[in-house]
């Protein structure tokens, strides 16, 4: 242990004993540090104060990492305690290792305020930080090498549609939102679905009442009339669960102009489609899929799982009536996230089909664009 670390350890113990109020915390830490090591220079003093404050009220050694607004993902691997980050779409390992005690401190700080627990009987948990970042924790026996923490961050700055699509395609999507088309955003993990959903929602005209339904509240809509609903997992006794489909059904009773479902993963897909088919045009949602066609097939599977015995043709007809556009967003090998396809959902021979409105083909497996994304000839009202 370095001399600075030893000072920080002693000061931290005294802070825990005194429990100063949040308003005076930094001043008291500074005073205690001066008492413990009066010869510290100002730079070292500031380092020790920051370290103790992080251990006392923050996420410990991860506070300094999370201070970088350009980092979109933070991953702590158990065992060795390695810290990896994603920045500008690329993974990088930091010259930082967390001890077992530091990892346990971070986990406790994340889940304790939410009334959650994670242990051998409940070895994984999803949580949310005050800034909206999503946290996943997995501990042994599921995490073989030790506790693992994954923090998905969401940018505080709104991203315009043009950041994810060329101008003509952005205009197409902007018109689709204002024309109250029902839109499904699809893509892989980390492709930028939530970011694109935020950008699409930002186009919604003022004066509309928006109800958002999410597993973990991630959306940050720059609108004046937004009501956010968040699902709740079961407690330690296995009771108290509130599912997404329960919230979707409840949202219908809240006089929404539009319903935004953060992500459909299961039976809530049926309730979402019914909402889209019962006068709530202009609704938005996302799902995991490798392409627009795969997104529609996944939607079919989820609806069939929610309504056993429902004929496939009836499901496809329901989807064709409810969903107007499927927008695919993809993360390229260089880390950029761009819209790669926009398909219109249409009926063909009493079954659902898709008509490409915009496409971007990547060739040679290298991410080289061989055809730029451009909208097909569609008639859009002025």
Residue 350 has a pLDDT of: 55
What is the rounded CA–CA span in Å between residue 143 and residue 134? 19
Residue 57 has a pLDDT of: 62
Residue 379 has a pLDDT of: 47
Domain 161-375, CATH number (from 3.30.365.10, 3.20.20.150, 3.40.50.300, 3.40.605.10): 3.40.50.300
- Based on its alpha-carbon atoms, the radius of gyration of the chain, rounded to whole angstroms, reads 24
109: which 2 tokens? 């700080």
Angle between helices 312-322 and 292-306 (to 10 degrees): 120
- Here the contacts of 37-41 (C-beta below 8 Å, separation 24 or greater) are 37/3, 37/7, 40/7
For residue 348, the tally of other CB atoms under 10 A from its CB is: 11
What is the rounded CA–CA span in Å between residue 231 and residue 261? 11
What is the rounded CA–CA span in Å between residue 211 and residue 42? 50
**Which CATH topology does 62-152 take?**
Beta-Lactamase (3.30.450)
Q: Are strands 368-375 and 351-363 parallel, antiparallel or unpaired?
A: antiparallel
255: which 2 tokens? 């006089």
Q: Are strands 368-375 and 258-261 parallel, antiparallel or unpaired?
A: unpaired
Can you tell me which residue has the tokens 């953060």? 262
139: which 2 tokens? 């501990």
Q: Whole-prediction pTM value?
A: 0.74
Q: What phi and psi, each to the nearest 5 degrees, are found at residue 362?
A: -110, 135
124: three-class secondary structure by DSSP: strand
CB-neighbour burial class of residue 71 (10 A; exposed 0-12, middle 13-18, buried 19+) = middle
Q: What is the pLDDT along the chain (382 residues), one digit of tens a residue?
A: 555 667 766 766 665 555 555 556 677 777 877 777 777 777 887 777 767 666 666 677 787 788 787 888 899 998 788 999 988 778 889 988 888 888 888 888 788 767 677 888 888 888 878 777 888 999 998 988 889 999 988 765 567 888 888 888 899 999 999 999 999 999 998 888 988 999 999 899 988 999 999 887 778 888 889 999 988 877 666 677 888 889 988 998 999 999 999 888 888 888 888 888 877 789 999 999 999 999 999 999 999 888 777 888 888 888 888 899 999 999 887 778 889 999 988 876 655 667 777 766 544 343 333 344 554 444 454 4
Helices marked H in the chain: 3-18, 25-36, 42-57, 63-66, 100-111, 167-178, 193-201, 244-251, 268-276, 292-306, 312-322
Give the start-to-end residue ranges of the domains of the chain: 3-57, 62-152, 161-375
Q: Are strands 90-97 and 148-152 parallel, antiparallel or unpaired?
A: unpaired
Residue 382 has a pLDDT of: 44
What is the rounded CA–CA span in Å between residue 91 and residue 85? 6
Contacts of 299 (CB under 8 A, 6+ apart): 184, 264, 269, 273, 287, 319, 323
Residue 31 has a pLDDT of: 80
Cis peptide before 141 (omega within 30 of 0): yes
List beta partners, residue 378: none
Distances (CA, A) of 217 to 118, 129, 134: 20, 10, 8
Contacts of 14 (CB under 8 A, 6+ apart): 32, 36
Residue environment code for 178-210, b if the CB has 16+ CB neighbours within 10 A, otherwise e: eebbbbbbbbeeebbbbbbbbbbbbbbeeeeeb
């Amino acid at each position: 242990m370095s001399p600075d670390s030893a000072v920080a350890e002693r000061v931290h113990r005294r802070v825990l004993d005194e429990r100063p109020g949040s308003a005076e915390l930094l001043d008291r830490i500074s005073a205690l540090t001066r008492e413990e090591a009066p010869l510290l220079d100002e730079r070292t003093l500031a380092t020790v104060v920051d370290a103790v404050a992080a251990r006392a009220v923050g996420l410990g050694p991860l506070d300094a990492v999370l201070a970088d607004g350009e980092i979109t993902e933070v991953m702590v691997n158990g065992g060795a305690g390695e810290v990896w980050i994603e920045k500008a779409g690329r993974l990088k390992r930091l010259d930082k290792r967390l001890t077992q005690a530091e990892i346990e401190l971070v986990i406790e700080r994340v889940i304790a305020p939410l009334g959650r627990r994670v242990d051998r009987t409940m070895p994984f948990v999803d949580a949310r930080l005050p800034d909206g970042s999503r946290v996943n924790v997995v501990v042994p026996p599921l995490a073989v090498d030790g506790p693992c923490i994954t923090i998905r961050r969401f940018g505080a700055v709104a991203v315009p549609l043009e950041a994810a699509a060329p101008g003509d395609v952005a205009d197409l999507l902007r018109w689709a939102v204002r024309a109250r088309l029902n839109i499904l955003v699809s893509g892989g993990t980390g492709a930028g679905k939530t970011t694109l959903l935020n950008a699409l929602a930002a186009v919604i005209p003022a004066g509309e009442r928006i109800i958002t339904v999410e597993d973990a509240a991630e959306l940050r809509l720059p609108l004046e009339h937004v009501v956010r609903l968040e699902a709740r997992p079961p407690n330690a006794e296995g009771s108290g669960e509130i599912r997404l489909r329960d919230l979707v059904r409840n949202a219908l009773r809240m006089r929404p102009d539009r319903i935004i479902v953060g992500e459909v993963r299961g039976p809530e897909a049926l309730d979402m489609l019914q909402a889209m088919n019962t006068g709530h045009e202009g609704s938005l949602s996302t799902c995991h899929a490798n392409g627009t066609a795969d997104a529609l097939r996944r939607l079919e599977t989820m609806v069939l799982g929610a309504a056993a015995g429902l004929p496939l043709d009836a499901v496809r007809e329901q989807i064709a009536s409810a969903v107007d556009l499927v927008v695919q967003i993809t993360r390229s090998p260089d880390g950029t996230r761009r819209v790669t396809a926009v398909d219109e959902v249409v009926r063909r021979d009493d079954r659902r089909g898709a008509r490409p409105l915009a496409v971007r083909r990547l060739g040679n497996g290298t991410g080289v664009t061989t055809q730029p994304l451009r909208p097909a000839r569609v008639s859009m009202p002025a």
